Structure 1
């Protein structure tokens, strides 16, 4: 009996178990290919976001014995750190840190992405580098700089045009990374090239009657496969919900004891806070001025009241919110930094909590 191997299977018979992927760029959503209809019905449809539409940050992985508690804490951190009013996010779990990719859900809906869709940033389609350090990737809408540490993505920055050495130096300073001033641009993931290669692989096989019979059989089985896939997805979601409920029930007693202990210690610490935890407004003002000078920006407004700092920075059009947020959060006197913009006015409004320079950051 002849053994059938992958090399003997016609290219038109080979089926990839990957979902249908559609690129989402600043101009809109790419149309779905005709041959991807069955893939979207059976395996789902995935919207791959351009790097220009997403924001990246990294946080330390919360320490908790409960997986459900860790996931809840990470989700709260993702919402708090996102610069968007109504963000969606994707969490990339690493051994010691969690990468937070967030985007503006309202903008995606305006571009044509249905609410509740399966969304993934295009940066997650690339394989990690063999060594830690800085690398520059070519994207369909620009360039992405990445810094890897310990096998994890530590920082990411997007430029519409190829960055010069000064832009790269500012990015590395904001990520506390040192290395060469420039690196060669590597080709990133390209849905256009991948789709063209798949189309050429299918078209290269010679058409035979048996292929037509196979295609008709697959077309007849699509409704059954779609129903079976929906059932399997529903069963998987039900099992996940049951597992989460069990985890919450097990962690309930520990969380209650921890809450009581926190309340008792918070009452005792409140007695010392007035004398020992008074922030110095001049230190915060100096930090804001240093960040503005580093990013070639100007301070147009500044105010500190009841340990809350509000300021407004105006700078060049290339000033990225991720770069500004990272530079501010690196300061010891500023915590809970949030950025916002009023309409189409230039500059960014900054809100932060002022803490003593020698306080322990949480």
Structure 2
């Protein structure tokens, strides 16, 4: 679990409750505050679980037995269900309230902060903050636990191990299924939730799907807006192309009308011939203009072109008469002026 989702742990020792860091205030409000009670303030009991399904009747029976065995007048209990037993940690509720803990505070025994199931079977001794704990693991379950304020002697350890010897007939008992264990832990966890945490969980459960749907809606809107922009651009481009085509058709019709009235060839014919000439010599037609008396053009030729060849190709045009060709001030640029030939002359030459 990420650290920002973990509850804030505050250690409770015989000296008092450890202060909470100022930076953990927000996390304590959102995720809760957990009081870790040191081993010196705890009492451990291992109670056999009655046979049958782990229902409310068995829970109440084990809780009553745990209160009876606890060495306190007003014990607080933390019950953990193993496969065949109930592991009960108890503490003096009145003493913790005198230290400042409120009734119903989230209390976690210090030894349970370590996973006993990860340890090998047998006797273990470990040093805690305020003393030493000796405990025995059997079949991955905690069998017994004892606390010493000072390091125990060899005799203390031997007496403890002899006192907590257990028989091995537990295997004949029906173990608690994983679903019942999960249900018991879930109910214990749910009982610790505050109204604020319940509201935050509800907001999270409802808010995440709503945010997901809002994200999908926003993405679809952005895609729709992008498609509309692309469609608008296509329409505008099509309109521009259509307008250019219509302008070309109008100009073409006007030129054809002028050609018929003036009895001259279509002005685009010499333009096509000059463009073909430029392509033949590897140059380009830089400018072409229709004048009242004919046409004017500028042709750019490559450096390696032969001027005589350019003159021959231009003068061989059938759509122009009175062709005049000369160099301009620009390098490799030729100026061409000519009059338009009549259609009758072109038809006669073609025959």
Structure possessing the higher radius of gyration over alpha carbons? 2
TM-score, normalised relative to structure 1: 0.46
Larger RCO (alpha carbons 8 Å, 6+ apart): 1
TM-score, normalised relative to structure 2: 0.47
More helix per residue: 1 or 2? 2
